[in-house]
Amino acid sequence: MAAAEAAAPPGGGCPAAGGGSVPVLFCFSVFARPSTVPHGAGYELLIQKFLSLYGDQIDMHRKFVVQLFAEEWSQYIDLPKGFLVSERCKVRLVPLQIQMTTLGNLTPSSTVFFCCDMQERFRPAIKYFGDIISVGQRLLQGARLLGIPVIVTEQYPKGLGSTVQEIDLTGAKLVLPKTKFSMVLPEVEAALAEIPGVRSVVLFGVETHVCIQQTALELIGRGLEVHIVADATSSRSMMDRMFALERLARTGIIVTTSEAILLQLVADKEHPKFKEIQNLIKASAPESGLLSKV
């Protein structure tokens, strides 16, 4: 398990000579399964045991840390350096989320834009649809200026139509029909794998509480940082939209605005594309009141 090995503390090693097995409770997610390991087992053998017990549930693309329950603190602590099992204990495998040092930091080289289901048949039903089209188009123009890959999906286009004509998909890396609500399809995962160093996804479209929400949750489950553009996502019901954004924010997803995204991506007035991004923002900023509904 290469990802877990990268987080291994030095010194955990093979069992020491001399004796017997030690009972250990192995915890992962909501599960707890008792087993045994040889006396003197270290980090590597604990990882092997976790894989034997939970291998079908562990995402091999994630990074993990092993923690030990410390009686003196009455809580789990990171496995001490050089730890060897010598007595009955309880350990757990914890998936690491986003590195706190990079939380919210966008750069063009590590970002991809996801445009979700901005289709003609949704026009009469989605609140502020004209405004999110305008903001979505601004984001796609910004992506082209900054060389950011764009992935687009269309929900059942045979029945719901194609992406609206106002949205220019020139240069999009992938435009894909789907029936699944989430955008995270095998073809999308393959496209992401072709983008070196991708860390952040900027997500917008419809509907906030269905396709946007399910896409965002799947993406963070794969260790990606997700930025939802509040002024470029909507639903038929403002209540559904509001509660979806609140829920997503509580999970660590970043709810932000199109202007904040574009200016964060250029980061500096001296950026060679700053003037073009600035003009784009000035020329296409709708005043719809949508952000007052967040």
Catalytic site positions = 117, 178, 211
3-state secondary structure the chain: CHHHHHCCCCCCCCCCCCCCEEEEEEEECCEEEEEEEECCCCHHHHHHHHHHHHHHHCCCCCCEEEEEEECCCCEEEECCCCCCCCCCEEEEEEECCCCHHHCCCCCHHHEEEEEECCEHHHCCCCCCHHHHHHHHHHHHHHHHHHCCCEEEEEECHHHHCCECCCCCCCCCCEEEEECCCCCCCHHHHHHHHCCCCCCEEEEEEECHHHHHHHHHHHHHHCCCEEEEEEEEEECCCHHHHHHHHHHHHHCCCEEECHHHHHHHHHCCCCCCCHHHHHHHHHHCCCCCCHHHHC
How far apart, in whole angstroms, are the C-alpha atoms of residue 65 and residue 92? 8
Strand 64-70 and strand 89-95: the pairing is antiparallel
Instruction: Provide the CB-side half-sphere exposure for 155 (13 A, CA).
Output: 20
| Phi–psi pair at 142, nearest 5 degrees | -60, -40
